[in-house]
Amino acid sequence: MKKLTATLSSIFFILSVLVLFNCSGPEETSEAVKFYIGSSDGSLEYSIFLCEMDPVKGEFAVLDSFTGAKGPSYLAFSPDRSHLYTINKEISDTSLRNMTLSSFSINKETHQLEFLNSQSSEGGGPCHVHCSKKGTFLFTSNYSSGSVAAFPISDLGEIQPASSVVQSSGTGPIENRQGGPHTHYVSLDLKENYLLSPDLGTDKVLIYEFDHDSGVLTPNPAQPFFKLTPGAGPRHLVFHPSGEFVYVVNELNATVTACRYNDKNGTLTKLNVVSTIPEPYEGSRYPAAIRIHPNGNYVYASTRGDISSISVFKVDEEGEFYRIQVMENVTAWPRDFNIDPSGQYLMAAGERSDEIELYRIDKGTGMLTKTEMKITLPSPGCILYLD
């Protein structure tokens, strides 16, 4: 993949400015961490950025940027980190208005991306991608059309035509947001027998059996869906490292729902529900991303709105959880955030502030503290660590 050209040199100069902060990282994080950023700005030609964070020097830098996808607001690796898969806002079918998914090979030495192919997402508004552990299937949720699809992946890493497309149906009580199905996320469970997809439009977590031989998704006969509070608007979910619990972040009522998960039959049972922000609160609030600490003891959720924030929750032995911190006034409109592999840092993507900010995690308490480290990037929508 070619480097940034001279016509983009001024942009690259701005993006590659190093920003320092006063405290260096703990000894166990002595090496620089590389990561990709996908921008949600569909007007950008160079829309995927390769970045680096050096915790010892306290430096952020943009190393390169790549073409091949319009508005890649979500990214996913193959399990061996040899390929990258992205959302692509390019229209694949003008009559159906279906968009696309794109695949890239990753140079193991330079981490540069080389475009491989694009494939129809088989729906409108794809907003999430997920790759199986064996790297043989890719999954997407099509928000606008309310469908979920599975795609075989070739030995070369190219996305093949869909092997299964499942259309959701139904509505919710909030007319301007829930007039139809809006699947927002997809993830296989840890044993990869079932696919879960939060449907914001119908207040359900859809549950599908997945056949790895045929690539076909079918509604789970034991529980085709888990129903949430009317008007909750489930957006994303995360599995506990044990596989025993699932945490669902709800965009429309600003809550997180904890569930017990039975991996034998792919069923969910509610444990408890906690608001992402202190109540009462009269301003706008729209939770976006949810992550769990590598140690499994803390859940994190971002909330966009009048006061952009990241909330921290403590998980008990039974999977229930409670809120212990709300970090307010984080980077504006934190559409995504991610925890670095060491569990010491959290990076937040401010989609409307055009920046990435770094926060330190206390591994003893899980709580966040601000650093002065940030970097400017256009409409960051997804953070994906290479290491």
Q: What is the CATH number of the domain that holds 231?
A: 2.130.10.10
- For the cut 80, the answer to whether the pLDDT of residue 265 exceeds it is yes
The verdict on pTM exceeding 0.85 is yes
Residue 26 inside a domain? The answer is: no
In this prediction, what percent of the chain has a pLDDT beyond 70?
A: 92
Residue 214 inside a domain? The answer is: yes
Mean pLDDT lowest among 9-13, 212-216, 347-351: 9-13
Residue 347 inside a domain? The answer is: no
Residue 309 inside a domain? The answer is: yes
User: Could you give the count of Cα atoms lying within 13 Å of 342 in the half-sphere of its Cβ?
Assistant: 18
pLDDT band of residue 58 (cuts 50, 70, 90) is: confident
What's the CA dihedral at 346, 350, 353, 357 to 10 degrees? Answer: 10
Residue 387 inside a domain? The answer is: no
The structure tokens 């997402």 sit at 121
Residue 149 inside a domain? The answer is: yes
Give the model confidence (pLDDT) of 343-379 as tens digits: 999 999 999 999 999 999 998 999 999 998 999 999 9
Residue 178 inside a domain? The answer is: yes
The Cα 183–Cα 243 span in angstroms is 22
> Total domain count for the chain?
1
The boundaries of the domain holding residue 119 are 68-331+357-370
What are the beta bridge partners of residue 211? 216
Give the model confidence (pLDDT) of 140-159 as tens digits: 999 999 999 999 999 999 99
Residue 55 inside a domain? The answer is: no
Mean pLDDT computed over 224-228: 98
pLDDT of residue 9: 34
- For the cut 50, the answer to whether the pLDDT of residue 386 exceeds it is yes
- For the cut 70, the answer to whether the pLDDT of residue 15 exceeds it is no
Q: Do the strands 267-275 and 255-262 form a parallel or antiparallel pair, or are they unpaired? A: antiparallel
- For the cut 70, the answer to whether the pLDDT of residue 21 exceeds it is no
Give the model confidence (pLDDT) of 108-124 as tens digits: 999 999 999 999 999 99
Mean pLDDT computed over 328-339: 97
Mean pLDDT computed over 302-321: 97
pLDDT band of residue 30 (cuts 50, 70, 90) is: low
